Structure 1
Amino acid sequence: MMKQLRNIVSVAALAGLAISGCRKGDKIVPPEITPVDTARPGAAYNGFYLLNEGNMGSNKSTLDYYDYTTGIYKSNIYATANPTAVKELGDVGNDIATYGSKLYAVINISNKVEVMDAASAKRIKQINILNCRYITFANGKAYVSSYAGPVLVEPNAPIGFVAEIDTATLEITRKVIVGYQPEEMAVAGNKLYVANSGGYRVPNYDRTVSVIDLNTFKEIKKIDVAINLNRLKVDNDGDIYVTSRGDYYNIPSRLFLIDTKTDVVKKQFDIPVSNLWIAGDTAYVYGSVFSYNTGKWTITYNMLNVKTETVLNTNFITDGTDKSIRMPYGIAVNPATREIFVTDAKDYVSSGVLYCFTPAGKKKWSVTTGEIPAHIAFISGTK
């Protein structure tokens, strides 16, 4: 039930991360350092950050780091890097991404975007945005979706907006009204696409994708798709894949494809999709779907060929490890090595697990994370 609720509301300096840790009382505790793989110096990516959401209201969002150059995983690195941050990272880490030399973490319930140095995880600035959700980038700008109101499920929940941030000055420059409770976004050409969920207004969900002209920063149209939209990704051809969570009763979760040349839905995939990651011509997807009718979760894994726009009906985990994953909650694929990463939120209150799989779907390693591991951002290295 917790995930259902969460869906509604919901380089050289890198060596210095080894001393980062968490705070217990007034004492900063060094992070747990776990060797998990062989060192790969000179790899295309130095490593990646993993943002653990932390249970809502517990102020326990944490940041982990995996270092490809050493093969070491470091848990909870934020506190020592930022000893003056009294509440540390904050409450519910909802998204993370890098752009240029900066790392951006969207901390939902703390109503802020935490901007850090990507090499050291040291805070550069905190940008205050009410009930912020996701972030994406284009042309020196960051775009952050916002529910524009408090965490409250009620029929008069306000319409949402997207804030534009100048990544040089880190100031909010413009805002645009979109749909209700906007979620993930992506840029295709000179247009920003925003998935509107309407999750606070259940059962009167929103069912649109807002299309924003980036020059004027005005909404130029809404595309009717399906109710309760959530994830939104762009492929190499500029097409948009957007997920619908359905209504958890009789309308199932589905995946839709939008042609950005015409801005119309050109295909529906009748598979449940909770999250996806596109690498090359392949989309790696999983579904973790709750039904109020049965009171049960259904977990599925699948792949799509985004070039031919076909479902492959193939589990990307091929060694049976998927049976050990209690609640898949995040997915990422290394663009260079095609290693697949899947996180397990377990029961949403215990420490989670991060799994690393080979491109063939065989488990390489796993490691304990913080609570509700969810979002991954890769850090470029020497190419």
Structure 2
Amino acid sequence: MKKLIIPILLLIVCFTLSSCRGDDEMLVPSTGTQVQPPTHPEFITGFYLLNEGNMGSNKCTLDFMDYTTGYYHKNIYAETNPSVVMELGDVGNDIQIYGKKLYAVINCSHFIEVMDKKNARHLGTIDIPNCRYITFHEGYAYVSSYAGPVQIDPNARLGYVAKVDTATLQVIAECAVGYQPEEMAIVGNKLYVANSGGYRVPNYDRTVSVIDLNTFTEMYKIDVAINLHRLKADRYGNIYVSSRGDYYTVPSNLYVIDTQTDEVTDTLDIAASELWIDDDYLYLYSTEYSYTNEKEWEITYALIDTRTKQVISRNFITDGTEKQIKKPYGIAVNPETKEFFVTDAKDYVSPGTLYCFTPQGKKKWSVTTGDIPAHFVFVPK
């Protein structure tokens, strides 16, 4: 009789979980892998990694690295929230922490998933069409939105930034910006928004919108370059903004905006797909492709000193591990330990790999992730 009890209980649990999630959807349990010994961090207890999942596959997943145990936990959201049908949704595009809440921007599912930062437990959602990136300031979240459907359209409408009350999770205002707005950064009381115009190809946008947060109105646009994407602020009052180019004759490039004058002061003549700033250093990688030359993807890395705006290294991975990375897709630096991470999306349809490196660029460990590992957020103590 005792031998029968445990299997029966397991069947009951499985039936309950599958009933909550719909007849055709089964819960995939999380998996844990110990990648390093337990540590006792002073400030950062771990990080979340949001896996985008291929568009249309509804395979966005969430992983968590726990420094206190040394375990990397893959696909934690489904197990933590078994009653949430369809789990995280279609294409995770950004993840951030503000206060006690964890925010995941789910682009093609048109909402922001709000969770408890301690355990990723579902707290609510914020409905915003074609949402892209999120940032925070004085109790409010600011979310960039393409506004329209997910499709190439030469007549695609202007995008906007939604202002969200983080206490109520309600959108309280919208501010129109450029076409298909992407990443944002706040310096003082100004919100900077990179406008891509990606849906209106070949008529890309080429501006950064500047919003006055006191009035939540667009003050003006800064002309930079076509098809803007990444936008990061350093601690010297500069904004770094990347251009993806047109994938034909105009290459990717990186520009610097002085937020005192709101003018472009530097063109760095370096391709950039993703940026991460830690202290005085900007880490970047680039994955470039040109239809005109029909060349293979050109993958490069660089480290920039934000004090001088000079490239100080063309490869911060120093042990040759970069040769194993097929398609770099995410980058992050632990602000406490200074170890850094690079993800590999591989073929974009199968599980990726996360690589951890020492501050000196030597590989510490690697682990399998969900599909298209992309966006990091570190969890403060």
Shorter-chain TM-score bucket reads over 0.9
Deviation track 1:234-271 (CA, whole Å, cap 9, x = no partner) reads 00112100000000011110000000000000000001
Q: Which amino acid aligns with 2:331?
A: I
Q: Which residue of 2 aligns with 1:371?
A: 371
How far the C-alpha of 1:28 sits from its partner, in A, is: 2.6
Mapped contact 2:50–2:373 kept (Cα < 8 A): yes
Mapped contact 1:285–1:303 kept (Cα < 8 A): yes
How far the C-alpha of 1:25 sits from its partner, in A, is: 4.7
How far the C-alpha of 1:313 sits from its partner, in A, is: 3.4
**SS of 1:233 mapped into structure 2:** strand
**SS of 2:220 mapped into structure 1:** strand
Deviation track 1:304-353 (CA, whole Å, cap 9, x = no partner) reads 00011111133110000001000000000001111111010000001000
How far the C-alpha of 1:43 sits from its partner, in A, is: 3.3
How far the C-alpha of 1:120 sits from its partner, in A, is: 1.1
How far apart are the structure 1 equivalents of 2:230 and 2:107? Answer: 16
Q: Which residue of 1 aligns with 2:281?
A: 282
Q: Which residue of 2 aligns with 1:322?
A: 322
Deviates more, 1:308-317 or 1:129-138: 308-317
Q: Once superposed, what is the RMSD of the aligned Cα atoms?
A: 1.4
Deviation track 1:173-230 (CA, whole Å, cap 9, x = no partner) reads 1110000000000000100000000000000000000000000000001000000000
Q: Which residue of 2 aligns with 1:359?
A: 359
Task: Determine what percentage of the aligned residue pairs are the same residue.
Answer: 63
**SS of 2:297 mapped into structure 1:** strand
Deviates more, 1:138-147 or 1:204-213: 138-147
How far the C-alpha of 1:81 sits from its partner, in A, is: 1.3
Would you say 1:298 and 2:303 are equivalent positions? no
Q: Which residue of 2 aligns with 1:232?
A: 231
Q: Which residue of 1 aligns with 2:76?
A: 77
Q: Which residue of 2 aligns with 1:170?
A: 169
How far apart are the structure 1 equivalents of 2:169 and 2:288? Answer: 37
Q: Which amino acid aligns with 1:282?
A: Y
User: Against the structure 1 CA distance between its residues 102 and 243, is the aligned structure 2 distance closer, same or farther, given a 3 Å change threshold?
Assistant: same
Mapped contact 2:114–2:125 kept (Cα < 8 A): yes
How far the C-alpha of 1:294 sits from its partner, in A, is: 2.4
How far the C-alpha of 1:167 sits from its partner, in A, is: 1.1
Pairs within 5 Å for 1:1-383: 25-295=24-294, 296-381=296-381
Q: Which amino acid aligns with 1:168?
A: A
Q: Which amino acid aligns with 1:199?
A: G
How far apart are the structure 2 equivalents of 1:25 and 1:322? Answer: 40
User: Against the structure 1 CA distance between its residues 26 and 182, is the aligned structure 2 distance closer, same or farther, given a 3 Å change threshold?
Assistant: closer
Mapped contact 1:45–1:380 kept (Cα < 8 A): yes
Q: Which amino acid aligns with 1:88?
A: E
Mapped contact 2:130–2:148 kept (Cα < 8 A): yes
How far the C-alpha of 1:64 sits from its partner, in A, is: 0.3
Unaligned runs of 5+ in 2: 1-16
How far apart are the structure 1 equivalents of 2:36 and 2:168? Answer: 38
Mapped contact 1:186–1:192 kept (Cα < 8 A): yes
How far apart are the structure 2 equivalents of 1:30 and 1:254? Answer: 42
How far the C-alpha of 1:26 sits from its partner, in A, is: 4.9
**SS of 1:230 mapped into structure 2:** strand
Unaligned runs of 5+ in 1: 1-19
Mapped contact 1:192–1:212 kept (Cα < 8 A): yes
How far apart are the structure 2 equivalents of 1:195 and 1:247? Answer: 16
Q: Which amino acid aligns with 2:123?
A: I
How far apart are the structure 2 equivalents of 1:175 and 1:30? Answer: 39
Aligned residues: 361
Based on CA coordinates, which of the two structures has the bigger radius of gyration? Answer: 2
Relative to the length of structure 2, the TM-score reads: 0.93
How far apart are the structure 1 equivalents of 2:26 and 2:248? Answer: 47
How far apart are the structure 1 equivalents of 2:132 and 2:120? Answer: 20
Q: Which amino acid aligns with 2:208?
A: V
How far apart are the structure 1 equivalents of 2:133 and 2:330? Answer: 14
Mapped contact 1:51–1:93 kept (Cα < 8 A): yes
How far apart are the structure 1 equivalents of 2:275 and 2:75? Answer: 25
How far apart are the structure 1 equivalents of 2:276 and 2:173? Answer: 29
Deviates more, 1:79-88 or 1:254-263: 79-88
**SS of 1:29 mapped into structure 2:** coil
How far apart are the structure 1 equivalents of 2:32 and 2:79? Answer: 14
How far apart are the structure 2 equivalents of 1:98 and 1:313? Answer: 31
How far the C-alpha of 1:282 sits from its partner, in A, is: 0.4
